[in-house]
A = this chain, B = another copy of it.
Amino acid sequence: MTRLFGLTLAACTVAVAAFAGSHANPALKGAVDARNAQMSMIGYHTGLLGGMAKGDVPYDAATATAAAENLAAAAAMNRAVLWIEGTEQGAVEGSRAKPEIWSDAAGFEEKAMMLEAATAAMVTAAGTDLDALRAAMGDVGASCGACHKAYRGPRN
Please determine whether B82 and A77 come into contact, CB atoms closer than 8 angstroms: no
Grouping DSSP codes into helix (H, G, I), strand (E, B) and loop, the A interface class, with mixed when no group exceeds half, is helix
A48: B residues at CB distance < 8 A: 81
Q: Which of B31, B40, B70 contacts A81 (CB 8 A)?
A: B70
Q: Are A41 and B38 also in contact (CB < 8 A) when A73-B77, A80-B63, A81-B63 are?
A: yes
Could you tell me the distance between the alpha carbons of A8 and B67 in the complex, rounded to whole angstroms?
43
Could you tell me the distance between the alpha carbons of A74 and B45 in the complex, rounded to whole angstroms?
13
Count residues of A near B (Cβ-Cβ below 8 Å).
28
A interface list, Cβ under 8 A from B: 30-31, 33-34, 36-38, 40-41, 44-45, 47-48, 62-63, 65-67, 69-70, 73-74, 76-78, 80-82
Q: Which of B63, B74, B80 contacts A62 (CB 8 A)?
A: B80
A62: B residues at CB distance < 8 A: 80
Q: How far is the CB of A34 from chain B (nearest CB, A)?
A: 4
12 CB-based A-B contacts, threshold 8 Å: A30-B44, A31-B44, A34-B40, A34-B44, A37-B37, A37-B38, A38-B41, A45-B81, A66-B78, A66-B80, A67-B81, A70-B78
